[in-house]
Amino acid sequence: MSDFGMLILQLGSLFTGLVNVYIWVVIVTALLSFVNPDPYNPIVQFLRRVTNPAYSLVRRLMKTNFNGLDLAPLVIIIGLQIVVILTSYIFSVLAKLA
């Protein structure tokens, strides 16, 4: 495999790692919603500020609230896992072509 192919694989790994970090941020935010943390905590504010745009997009596109349980984090995690699988495949094919 050429150096350019290795660069493409590394970029794919970087993208996958960033998406995985965001998945964990979504998981932590979802778990925090069960314990009702202090809204003035800087960590809680950061987590909500990072995840609220994705939550609002999913909530606008589909109904995610069932009997008081918000399924938006689950929809986001499933969507991001699909993105990871597809981009990993695309980057591996591109690396083989390079």
Predicted pLDDT of residue 16:
96
Q: How many residues does the chain have?
A: 98
Residue 98 has pLDDT above 80, yes or no: no
Q: What is the rounded average pLDDT for all residues in the chain?
A: 93
Q: CB neighbours of 43 closer than 8 A, spacing ≥ 6?
A: none
DSSP per-residue letters across 30-91: HHHHHH---TT-HHHHHHHHHHHHHHHHHHHHS--EETTEE-HHHHHHHHHHHHHHHHHHHH
For residue 55, what pLDDT is reported? 95
Range of the domain at 51: 3-97
Q: How confident is the model at residue 97 (pLDDT cuts 50, 70, 90)?
A: confident
pLDDT tens for each residue of 12-52: 999 999 999 999 999 999 999 889 899 899 999 999 999 99
Task: State yes or no: pLDDT of 1 exceeds 90.
Answer: no
Q: Please state the rounded mean pLDDT for residues 55-74.
A: 92
Look at residue 65 and tell me whether its pLDDT is greater than 90: no
Stretch 53-60: mean pLDDT? 95
Report the domain count for the chain.
1
